[in-house]
């Protein structure tokens, strides 16, 4: 539908959940996809196999993006393999909850290092590799920016930073024909959500969601597919909520 044939897309943290759905959707649209993973090689290879089963092109590259050197390694290997890059989706992230009395330096550093600093590094590397025709950057934010849950002080702060980075870079990079947007998913049915959400918190979210259900990773991927396509050439600096109409 969005015609990404000839494009190369790197999706960080794409071995499972929303990231895997994004990688698959971009491949279905015709892009060659780099599937990045930190630890689960089997899951990443399953995504690659899915793509190749319908004639698409994908490779898996291991890199723990909390390590600055591995961020550079990821982009170097990607460019070595494909020789070009057109799309970056910053999906890799971590979520840890802690009440104010339990927050310590490690809790803060781990989340800001991956959710914020690694994202900035990835943008730096992508901008360096995009050609004169520009490129597309999509950051994965979260509904927690507007409705931070109890115990998610630091995680919510990292996603607020992602929104600010998105708006700032969209202005900075516009002259280079690079658009920068973010997608803020609501409660989505993923392994990560099942880990951090309690039954009570899930029920509360559903009670405030007009569509009355959790989102699916494929539905987030559809929004990303639009934003990286030529159809979204006039869209930049936007934080697009994909949350079933969640009412605050």
The rounded distance, in Å, linking the Cα atoms of 39 and 41 is 6
Which residue in the list 37, 82, 155, 204 is annotated as catalytic?
Answer: 155
Closest CA to 65 of 93, 41, 44, 85: 93
The rounded distance, in Å, linking the Cα atoms of 90 and 134 is 17
For residue 129, what are the contacts with CB-CB under 8 A and spacing of at least 6? 75, 79, 84, 85
Q: Are 143 and 241 in contact (CB under 8 A)?
A: yes
The three-class DSSP label of residue 239 is strand
Tokens 């071995």 found at: 15
CA angle 5, 16, 144 (to 5 degrees): 100
Sign of CA dihedral 170, 209, 159, 120: negative
Residue 140: phi and psi, rounded to 5, are -95, 115
The rounded distance, in Å, linking the Cα atoms of 31 and 25 is 9
Closest CA to 181 of 235, 225, 144: 235
The rounded distance, in Å, linking the Cα atoms of 154 and 99 is 10
- Residue 155 a catalytic site member: yes
Query: Which residues does the annotation mark as catalytic?
Result: 155
């Amino acid at each position: 539908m969005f015609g990404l044939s000839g494009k190369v897309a790197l999706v960080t943290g794409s071995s499972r959940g929303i990231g895997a759905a994004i990688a698959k959707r971009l491949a279905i649209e015709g892009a060659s996809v780099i599937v990045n993973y930190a630890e689960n090689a089997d899951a990443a290879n399953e995504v690659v196999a899915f793509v190749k089963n319908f004639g698409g092109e994908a490779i898996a590259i291991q890199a723990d993006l909390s390590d600055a050197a591995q961020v550079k390694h990821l982009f170097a290997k990607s460019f070595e393999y494909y020789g070009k890059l057109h799309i970056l989706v910053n999906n890799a992230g971590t979520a840890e909850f802690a009440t104010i009395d339990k927050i310590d330096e490690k809790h803060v550093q781990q989340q800001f290092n991956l959710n914020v600093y690694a994202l900035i590094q990835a943008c730096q590397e992508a901008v360096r590799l995009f050609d004169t025709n520009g490129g597309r950057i999509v950051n994965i934010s979260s509904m927690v920016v507007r409705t931070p849950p109890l115990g998610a002080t630091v995680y919510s702060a990292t996603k607020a930073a992602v929104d600010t980075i998105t708006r700032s870079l969209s202005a900075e990079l516009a002259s280079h024909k690079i658009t920068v947007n973010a997608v803020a998913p609501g409660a989505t049915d993923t392994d990560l959500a099942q880990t951090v959400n309690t039954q009570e918190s899930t029920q509360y979210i559903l009670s405030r969601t007009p569509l009355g259900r959790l989102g699916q990773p494929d539905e987030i991927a559809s929004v990303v597919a639009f934003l990286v396509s030529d159809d979204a050439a006039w869209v930049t600096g936007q934080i697009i909520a994909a949350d079933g109409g969640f009412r605050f």
